[in-house]
Each structure stands twice: as C-alpha cells, then as structure tokens.
Amino acid sequence: MRSRLCLILTRDLCVLDPLLVAAEAVAGGVDMLQVREKDCSTADLYAWSCQVVALGRRLQVPVLINDSVEVAIAADASGVHLGQDDMRLADARTLLGKNKLIGLSTHDLQQLEDAALAGADYVGFGPVFATQTKGYTEGLGVEQLTAATLFTQLPLLAIGGITVENAGMLCGKAGLAVSSAICSSRHPQKIAYAMRAQVVY
C-alpha cells in the first residue's frame, strides 16, 4: 500500500476526542491510521485498538498497530508497524500472514535495504526534522530523505517534525506520517487537508 498521509494517532496528544480526530483527519485526506500508545497496558491497547479498527472499517482506511504484533492480530487490524528494536519482520510475517501490512521504521540506507530484503510493505524514514514527540533534537534533513527515496523502491513515509509549514519541502519525495500536527489541532480536518494538498507522491 502506498499511503500519502498517515495519521499516527496518540491519545495523549489529542486536544479533541481521539476518535473524532481520526474521523476528521480521514475526511481531510488521511488514508492510513496507525495506533501508537507507548505507555499503556496490553489490555488497554487492545481495547483502544478495537475501537480504532472499527472506525477504520467504517471509513474504509487501513489501521495498523505500532509495535505490537499480538494486539494487531487480536484486534484484526490491517497490520503492524515495527521499530528497529521490535520483533523481527520475518517473524511478524509468519504470525500475521501474507495478507496483512507490515511497515518498518528506518533511519539510514542500510536499514532501508534490510527492510526491502525482509519483505516490508512500506517503510517510515526519519526523523526528517527535529521532533519532541520522540525526543529528537535534530532531524536527518531533506537531503537524506531524498537519498532514501532514490535508494529504495518501497513505498516510503517521511516522519518526524512534519508540519503544514514544512510539508511542502517534501513535495514529491514521499508520503507523510504525522502525529502532533494533526492530533494537537482543534481543526484536524483542516490541517489534514492542508498537508494532503502538498503531497504529490
């Protein structure tokens, strides 16, 4: 799947009801949802993921679960997004099967090559800009993102510190994965629309 605008939905960042944020974001152009909750129990993550998966089905957008293959399977999500320190992609594929999506976070060209060899369906690449969400004080930069897009044939989502103001710098290079810019807005549909309009990937 080639996503153009993915919302990384994190409840603590939302100033509105998170399900409303997700629904409005999809109305504004988000075409994939990713559930990311770093500090909750498996039971809570499962219950919340089921709600988002149900919403995704109604809105006809895929929903992926960040990090947890177990919860992705239990909630019957569209797939999982893995970090470099999570379960090996090959093992996740064995558990999930060939019809589920598996994305992988990458930070350099070697990780991009490894992701392709492992059979990732898409990759996230970043952080492109500095981001408080994950504690990066500086990003890899647009030049590194450009190099990544030339290096891999995998669908690629730029991530990290992306806002309405800087999204245009990435035009044509990749899809966008966004969290705080949409979640923290009181007008998520408007922000999503403004960002989606800048993506020609």
- Residue 170 forms part of a structural domain: yes
pLDDT value, residue 89: 97
- Residue 201 forms part of a structural domain: no
DSSP 53-83: HHHHHHHT--EEEES-HHHHHHTT-SEEEE-
- Residue 118 forms part of a structural domain: yes
Token readout for 160 is 């990290």
Print the domain residue range for 29.
5-196
User: Could you say which residues of the chain have pLDDT below 50?
Assistant: none
Question: Tell me: the pLDDT tens digits for 78-109?
Answer: 999 999 999 999 999 999 999 999 999 999 99
Q: Which residues pair with residue 176 across a beta bridge?
A: 5, 158
Burial 56-77 (b: 16+ CB within 10 A, else e): beebebbbbbbbbbebbbebeb
Domain count across the chain: 1
Other Cβ atoms within 10 Å of 36 Cβ, number:
19
Q: pTM of the prediction?
A: 0.95
pLDDT value, residue 134: 59
* CATH label of the domain that carries residue 77: 3.20.20.70
pLDDT value, residue 201: 66
